[in-house]
Amino acid sequence: MRLDGVLALRTGAVIAATVATAVLLSAALSGLKFEQKLGEIAASRLTVIADEMRRRVEYGLTLGLDLSELVDLQAQAERAASGGEILGVEVVDDHGIVLFAADRNAIGHPSPLAKPLEHAGWAADGTLRERIDGDVLVISSGVRNSFGQTVGEVILRSSLAGLRERVAAVEHGLLADLLALVGIAVIATFAAVYFVVQRGGGRRGLAAGTAPLSVVQDRLTHGIAEADRALDELERELDAMALPKAALP
């Protein structure tokens, strides 16, 4: 009985540990995947805004105006930046100088966000580029003139803090549920393992698979006797060969 208990406890502990790890790993994977997907949706929403701004800029360029001459862009930038969680919208020229921005103080200065495409951290998709700096998502859309030359960029910055707060709140609630689930799973595992060990595979089950002691003893005796016979045979052969010294040539 003691052996069955030890067996059930140890095997139950192994299975319970695996189940708990698998549950937490599954939840962590789900969390990461969902958070990533949520981020993608948020980014795609902001991309729509940046892309629309770019289209308007390019429409202006087709009229033959220079980028710096599209003065209505200032109002558009301010309007676009009025959306919740959007920190700023800038239109920069091909040297990275801010031409229009929701933050008027930035105008005329080089934008720290206007970097070459190969700059580390940017994920590029066509003319769109995306980067996450801490809690800030930066989306940049290249502006091209009628000849296909890149003449500037529309850069949009948005805060991810709100999204992350909402995710953290959900994860907090989820963690409590998961711990409860792990607890139930562990108890269920121990119960199931104890049942299996007791009913089928415990000491009784193992004893059932092992022959009775007398049979084991018989098998051992039989095996040893077989070896003894082979050894006897060889011994006889060797004895027959071990002739007296006088008989040797």
Partner 1 sequence: MTPAGHPNQRRRHDPVAALVLRLTIVTVAVLLLAAGAASWLSLRSFDRLFQPELGRKAQTVGNMIVAQIDRGLGVRIPLDRMAGLDALLAAEVGRHDDIAYIAVTDPAGRVVAAAGRPLDGIVSTNSPMPADRLEGPAGGRLAPGFVDVAQPLGQALSTTRPGAGTLHLGIDSAFLAKASTDLALDLLSVVIVSVLLTFEVLQLVVVLVMRRALTLRQLDERVEEGDFRATLPAGAPPGPTGDRALEDGVRTALDRVNARYAGLAAQMGELRRRLLDAGVSVDDPRIGRAEAGLAALSRRFRFREAGAAPPPPLNLVFLRLPVFLFCLSEELSRPFLPAYAKSFAGEVPWLTPDFVVSLPITLFMLIWALSQPGGARFSERWGRARSFTIGALLGAVGLALTAGAGSLAELMLWRGLTALGYGLVLITAQGIVVDHTTPRNRATGMAMFIGALLAAGVCGPVGGGIIADRVGIRATFLLGAVLALAAGLSVGLMLRGRVAACRPAGAGTGTGAGQGAGADMRPAMGSVLPLFRDLRFSALMVLSAVPTKIASTAFLFCLVPLMLTADGASKAEIGRVQMMYFVAFILISPLVAGLSDRWQARRGFIAAGGIGTLASCLPIVVTQAPWGAPLAVALFGLSQALVGAPQLTLVSQIARDGGLPETAAIGWYRLVERLGGALGPVAAMTVAVATSYREAMLGIGLLCGASAVVFWILFRTRRPAAPAARPQEA
Residue numbers 109-128 binding partner 1 by CB under 8 A? none
Q: Shortest gap between Cβ of 5 and partner 1 (angstroms)?
A: 10
In angstroms, what CA-CA distances link 214 with 219, 223, 228? 9, 14, 20
Residue in the block written with tokens 């069955």:
4
Q: How far is the CB of 12 from partner 1 (least distance, A)?
A: 9
Question: Which range, of 108-116, 120-128, 142-150, 189-197, touches partner 1 by CB under 8 A?
Answer: 189-197
Strand, coil or helix: what is 87?
A: strand
Smallest distance, partner 1 to C-beta of residue 218, A: 10
Q: Confirm or reject binding of residue 179 to partner 1 (CB under 8 A).
A: no
**246 contacts partner 1 (rule: CB under 8 A):** no
Residue that has been written with the tokens 């962590």 in this structure: 28
Instruction: Pick the closer one to partner 1 by CB: 104 or 166.
Output: 166
Instruction: Closer to partner 1 by CB, 91 or 163: give it.
Output: 163
- Pattern 20-59, partner 1, x by CB under 8 A: -xxxxxxx-xxxxxx--xx--xx-xx--xx--x-------
Residues 107 and 82: their CA atoms lie apart, in Å, by 18
Please report, as residue ranges, which positions from 136 to 165 form the binding site for partner 1 (by CB under 8 A). Answer: 163
Tokens found for residue 240: 């027959």
| Distance separating alpha carbons of residues 10 and 186, to the nearest angstrom | 13
Contact status, residue 139 vs residue 47, Cβ threshold 8 Å: yes
Does 18 contact partner 1 by CB under 8 A? yes
State the DSSP H helix or E strand holding residue 112, giving kind and residue range, or none if neither. Answer: none
